[in-house]
Chains A and B, each alone.
Chain A
Amino acid sequence: MSLKNVFTDWSRYRKGIEEGGFHDYEHMWGMAVDLNKCIGCNACAVACYAENNLAVVGEEKFYKGQAMHWMRIERYWDEPDLGEDRVKEFNHHGANFIPMMCQNCNAATCEPVCPVAATYHTPDGLNAQVYNRCIGSRYCSNNCPYRLRFFNFYSYYESSWPEPLHMQLNPDLTVRDKGVMEKCTFCVQRIRAAKDKARREDRKVRDGEFLPACAQTCPTGAITFGDLLTLHTPGGGVGETKVAQMWRDHQVELGKTRQTKQNPELRGYRVFEGLNTDPCVMYLERVREV
C-alpha cells in the first residue's frame, strides 16, 4: 500500500524534473527565509502555536524531546567554515538563528516509510499528514533528516487548554490526540480558505493573498511565502510570484542536489539538499560583519 504510494509520488516527482515542470500540480507552495532579517525573536513559533492548536508539553517533557513545535528557531554559535581561531571571535557576535519548519520536500524521506500511507504528497506540492490514518509507528519522524515531525506521546487536551482556554482553539483544524504524528502544514487551512475564495470569485489565487501564520507574524518580514510553480518556466514566467523571483534571483533551483551558481556570492541555499530531498524552503545565508 505504502509502496504504491511511494511509486506514485516518486514517478510524479521524476516526471516533474525531467519534463521541466510539475504540470499536474495545482500549486507548489514554497518559502524563502532571509536569515539576514531574522532576529530570532520566536514570534513565528508563537504564532504557529496559536494558529495550529499546538499543545504546550511543559518543561519536563521538553527535555525528553517531546515538544511539538512545528516551527522552531534553531541556534548556532559556531561557524566552522571560518576555522578554529575565528569561531571564538564569532561567539562574541551572539547566536545564529535559523527558523525551521517542515521543508515540504518534493522527494520527501518521510513519505516512503509510512506503513499505512498516512503521509503523502498533495497536488499542491505539500507533504500531507492524515491524522486519522496515522497509527503512530513513528517511522516518518525517524526518517526525517530535519527532525520536523512531532509525535503526540500523551493526550494534552486537558492539560494544555483547561477551561476556558479551549475557546482559543482554531476550529479549522483537528486537535490531535495521543499516538498521532503531526507536522507543519504550511497552514493548509489558510491555503484552503484562499483557494475556496478564489474559486468562488472565479479567479486564481493571487500572490500574497494569504500568508501562513509564521510569515504573517514575522516582525522583520524574513519569511516570504508563495507559489513556486512558475520556477520551472524558462526565463521567468509572466506574473511570477515574489518567492519564485527570490529563488531565481539567488539561482536556487528545484530538483538539484547541489546548486551550480554562476555567482558564488549569492546567498541562497537549501538545508541538506545533498540528501536529494529537494526541499521547497530556501534560506538566504546570513552575512556577518567581521
Chain B
Amino acid sequence: MSNIQQLPSRQVSNRGMEGGRRSLCRFLMPLSFPWVLLWVLALGGLVLMPGAVLAEVPNAVPPEGTYEGEHVEQPIEFPHDTHADVNKINCMYCHTYARRSPVAGIPPTSKCMGCHSIIATDKPRIKQLTEYWDKRQPPPWKKVHDVPDFVHFTHEKHLKRFVFDNEGMDVENVAEVCAFCHGEVKKMTVANKVKPLTMGFCRRCHEANDGPFDCWKCHK
C-alpha cells in the first residue's frame, strides 16, 4: 500500500493545469523591477476580487484541479443561483440525503411544490414544474456529476469529516464544502461539471487532508 502513496502525483492526468503552471513560471523568469510590480498588482487584484476566492473551510485543504464540463440540458433550467445565492437556502435543505447516505439525491417534486405552490407561481419555469406535478411525474433530471460504477463515494462520510465533525465549521457554510467537488454551484443556474472528479483529483485531496489510502475504501 505504501508504494501507492509514493507514486508521483503528476502521473495522474491533469495536464492542463500543470502546463499552465509551467508557463506561468516561464513568464515569471524576467524578474526585473517593473515586471515584479506588475505581477504583485495582478495577483493582489485576483485575491481581493470579491467572489473569486472561496471562504476558508477550517481544517481542510481544498482539492486542486479544474474541468470544463459540457452544458447538460435539463428538463427545467433550474436556477441554483436564485435558491442558494440570492435566497441563501442551504444545499442540504433540498439535497437532504447527503448527510446520511452515499448519494446527495434530488429532492422529490413535492419538496419543490412545498414552496412553489405559493411562491412565484406565475414564472414560466414554475408553470413547467406545476405541469409535471399535475401529471404526477418527476421532471427527468439528468445526472451531471457521475463517477464510474467501480468507484464507491459516500457523501455522508465526507460531510462528517468536513462539516459535522469539523470544529469551527458552521453548517450554514456547507456550500463551501460542496464546492470542493461541485464548484460554485450557487453561481450557476443548472449545475455544470467544473471539477475533474478523477482518481488523481480524489487522491490529491486525500493526501492533503489525511484521508484513507486503502484501495478497497473506494474500489471493490
A→B interface (CB under 8 Å): 1, 4-5, 8, 117, 120-124, 126, 128, 130-133, 171-175, 185, 188-189, 192, 196, 200
Size of the chain B interface, CB-CB below 8 angstroms: 16
A108 smallest CB distance to B (angstroms): 14
User: Which chain B residue shows the least CB distance to A3?
Assistant: B3
Say whether A132 contacts B150, CB under 8 Å. Answer: yes
User: Which chain B residue shows the least CB distance to A126?
Assistant: B216
B216 smallest CB distance to A (angstroms): 5
Say whether A131 contacts B3, CB under 8 Å. Answer: no
A110 smallest CB distance to B (angstroms): 15
Total cross-chain contacts (CB, 8 A): 52
Say whether A196 contacts B2, CB under 8 Å. Answer: no
Say whether B214 contacts A123, CB under 8 Å. Answer: yes
A185 to B149, CA, bound (A): 18
Say whether A8 contacts B3, CB under 8 Å. Answer: yes
A266 to B148, CA, bound (A): 49
Contact partner of B2 (CB less than 8 A), chosen from A8, A128, A173, A189, is: A8
Q: Contacts of B214 on A, CB cut-off 8 Å?
A: 122-123, 128
Contact partner of B157 (CB less than 8 A), chosen from A175, A188, A196, is: A196
A248 smallest CB distance to B (angstroms): 28
Say whether A1 contacts B150, CB under 8 Å. Answer: no
Residues 202 to 220 of chain B near chain A (Cβ within 8 Å): 214-216, 219-220
Q: When A122-B216, A189-B220, A196-B157 are in contact, do A131 and B1 touch as well, CB less than 8 Å?
A: no
- The listed residue with most A CB atoms (<10 A of its CB), out of B3, B152, B220, is B220
Interface string of B152-168 (1 = CB under 8 A from A): 10101100100000000
Q: Contacts of B149 on A, CB cut-off 8 Å?
A: 171, 174-175
Q: Contacts of B150 on A, CB cut-off 8 Å?
A: 131-132, 174
Q: Contacts of A124 on B, CB cut-off 8 Å?
A: 216
Q: Contacts of A200 on B, CB cut-off 8 Å?
A: 156, 160
Say yes or no: is B29 at the interface (Cβ < 8 Å to chain A).
Answer: no
A-B contact pairs, 17 of them (CB 8 A): A1-B3, A8-B1, A8-B3, A120-B215, A122-B1, A126-B216, A128-B215, A130-B215, A131-B219, A132-B150, A132-B219, A133-B215, A172-B220, A174-B220, A188-B216, A196-B156, A200-B156
A157 to B63, CA, bound (A): 36
Say yes or no: is B4 at the interface (Cβ < 8 Å to chain A).
Answer: yes
Q: Contacts of B156 on A, CB cut-off 8 Å?
A: 196, 200
Q: Contacts of A174 on B, CB cut-off 8 Å?
A: 149-150, 219-220
